[in-house]
A and B are shown apart, each in its own frame.
Chain A
Amino acid sequence: MKSPVFFLVWIVVAAIVFAFGLYLKNDYFFFAGYTVLQYVVLATGWNILGGYTGYVNFGSAAFFAMGAYASVVMHKVAPLPVPLLIIIGGIVSGLVGLGMGYLTLRLRGAFFAIATLALAVVLQTLIVNWDFVGGSRGAYIIRPNTLDIAGLQIPYIEYLFALMLILAVCALTVARIVERSRLGFGFATIRDDEVAAEACGVPTLRLKLMATTLSGALMGMAGAPFPYYIGYLQPSSAFGLEYAVNSIAMPMIGGTTSWVGPLIGAIVLGTLQQVATVTISSAVNLLIVGLLLTGFVIIAPNGILGLIHKFRGQSDADKVGRRVIRETP
């Protein structure tokens, strides 16, 4: 399937989801759905760096929060429509990603992960001490209840939901394009053996910077509309640990090697958490994520995707092996 076709197919799917929401006439569907979609974007963004190149980013919450706080700043300086804010949030977090990439060029494996954790704390401290965006007290964003588009009064939450749907489709398309391009193959060589890749002439340095930037930008875009969704943004909620955990757990549970993995993981885990929040309590959310994450990495290292492959009797290794045998004569 060509990328434009892929994009159009998913836009149609998104339109169906939106229409279903309108048919339900239930505001909660939009509220909960927005969170799940936000996780689809976050998980897809994380996976570009974490899944494709194998660099674990523990600081997803910081990228998310930078996107959100970019919107807060813009709201105070010059209020813009939310789609523009998403682009600005993406640029800001992309730049943070680029900076992080430069700072951590020499770090591999666990050291990189620890550096991202440290970066998140430093950024959070800066925001907490920055009075312009409300410091630790937080900032209020007053948003209208409805949005006027061509004379139609659209509830604001439906507007945000629609934006997030489009953003999720864009993120999936980008991830799929990256995965199937030379860029994606380059990322995969870094994941498999960085030293060998470098020796073969793969520009690992440039590729890593592209991965951190792209991944950061997507996570920032996921965060940009957040202040308008929640109405009141404080550092502890924007930098919340649940974003860091979920953006790691969702791709790991879904499967990290393909764009489908984060999508499956985000929908399954995101929905499960929404249900658990309503029926049990929000503390149990973390337990669910923790148990699923540990369970999956131990029992099904390749996530749900890996399980599906296994069920069909064609593990990745098998496929490669068969192809080799067929090509030998």
Chain B
Amino acid sequence: MGVTTDLFINAIIAGILLGGFYAAVTIGISISFGILDIVNIAHPAFVILGSYIAYLLNVSLGIDPILASVVALPAFFALGMAVYQLYYSSFEKFGQEALRGLAFFFGLLFITEVVLILAFGVDYRYVHTPYIDTTLHFGFVDIPLRMLVPCVVALLLVVGLIIYLGRTFTGRAIMAVAQDQHALKFVSADPIKIKRIAFGISIATASIAGALLIVIQPVEPSVGREYIGRVFAICVLGGMQSLPGTLIGAMLLGIMESLTATFYGPSWAPAVAFGFLLLTLAFRPQGLFGR
């Protein structure tokens, strides 16, 4: 086994772990953008908001950040429903969502970011948990728990959502909204209410993703910008509506970034991921796994 092989295998494993986390960040976009056709470009800002909530609860009460994010879930769900209601009554109702809806979320992104800056400043914040500094060693393979725990939680989140969307009435209704909004009325379900719930769920995932983010790395308010392009890249790669597709897309992007960072230096990593997105959009806009 040469050193390069070791590096290669470690980079792949790091990429998979990173990919799992990316899936948690993207799953909300897959619901809002992929299924509901709402271009919520502010999603990463909500993720950062989730990071700060987890940070606050962790520092003041000493709760585990991931547990804290679960506590905060209902608040995020309500926030999501409120945002959707505003979006619906201002844009979607009039069919003006294309240009103005985008601008609306773009504005929301900056409002969230600046409010966080004004409240917490631009210093990096981090959390304390027992597992953050531990690393497992299997021969030459290193697995930091800091990455493994978020990856596992992310997988649980994705699997949970897949089951919810496939097995429950509301979940199936959400999938149906994507296909035919008016047909939904025949099963006496209000499409707007269903969309509101779905958007609430999509923002609720940002709470968990935010907690995972602050476990992985220290967070400051503008970190979210790095994720705007990344989450949409993954969503498009995964074929928009498909949650398993999102997971595969996230893993692919994670592995690509990790390999590039290991062999060509971290400064090239964004170019590879985004170049891949550009090429996908240009030549296969339906995504790698889309029909």
Which residues from chain A sit less than 8 Å from chain B, CB to CB?
A: 50, 54, 56, 58, 103-104, 106-107, 109-111, 113-115, 117-119, 121-122, 124-126, 128-129, 136, 241, 245, 248-249, 252, 256, 283-284, 286-287, 289-294, 297-298, 301
Of the candidates B98, B104, B110, B281, the one whose C-beta lies within 8 Å of that of A114 is: B281
A286–B114 touching, CB < 8 Å:
yes
Query: Which of A106, A110, A256, A292 has the most chain B CB atoms closer than 10 A to its own CB?
Result: A110
B274 on the A face (CB < 8 A):
yes
Chain A residues in 8 Å Cβ range of B236: 111, 114
Interface residues of B in 265-291 (CB under 8 A from A): 267-268, 270-271, 274-275, 277-278, 281-282, 285
14 inter-chain pairs at a CB distance below 8 angstroms, sorted by A residue, are: A58-B106, A104-B281, A109-B98, A113-B39, A115-B281, A117-B229, A118-B232, A129-B268, A252-B103, A283-B118, A290-B110, A297-B91, A297-B100, A297-B107
A115–B107 touching, CB < 8 Å:
no
- Per the CB 8 Å criterion, the residue count for chain B at the interface is 40
Chain A residues in 8 Å Cβ range of B232: 114, 117-118
Known: A283-B117, A286-B113, A293-B106. A118 touches B281 (CB 8 A): yes
Interface residues of B in 77-121 (CB under 8 A from A): 86, 90-91, 96, 98-100, 102-104, 106-111, 113-115, 117-118
Known: A118-B233, A287-B115. A103 touches B278 (CB 8 A): yes
B267–A294 touching, CB < 8 Å:
no
Known: A118-B233, A249-B107, A283-B118. A125 touches B267 (CB 8 A): yes
A124 and B273 alpha carbons, distance in the complex (Å): 13
A284 and B277 alpha carbons, distance in the complex (Å): 33
Chain A residues in 8 Å Cβ range of B118: 283-284, 287
Chain B residues in 8 Å Cβ range of A245: 106, 110
Tell me the minimal C-beta distance from A46 to chain B in angstroms: 12
B225 on the A face (CB < 8 A):
yes
B33 on the A face (CB < 8 A):
yes
CB closest chain-A residue, reference B283: A106
Chain A residues in 8 Å Cβ range of B90: 297-298
Which residues from chain B sit less than 8 Å from chain A, CB to CB?
A: 33, 39, 86, 90-91, 96, 98-100, 102-104, 106-111, 113-115, 117-118, 225, 228-229, 232-233, 236, 267-268, 270-271, 274-275, 277-278, 281-282, 285
Known: A111-B236, A118-B233, A122-B271. A290 touches B99 (CB 8 A): no
B103–A125 touching, CB < 8 Å:
no
A315 and B39 alpha carbons, distance in the complex (Å): 29
A248 and B228 alpha carbons, distance in the complex (Å): 17
CB closest chain-A residue, reference B111: A290
Query: Which of A118, A136, A301 has the most chain B CB atoms closer than 10 A to its own CB?
Result: A118
A245 and B225 alpha carbons, distance in the complex (Å): 12
A110–B102 touching, CB < 8 Å:
yes
Known: A289-B110, A294-B111. A121 touches B270 (CB 8 A): yes
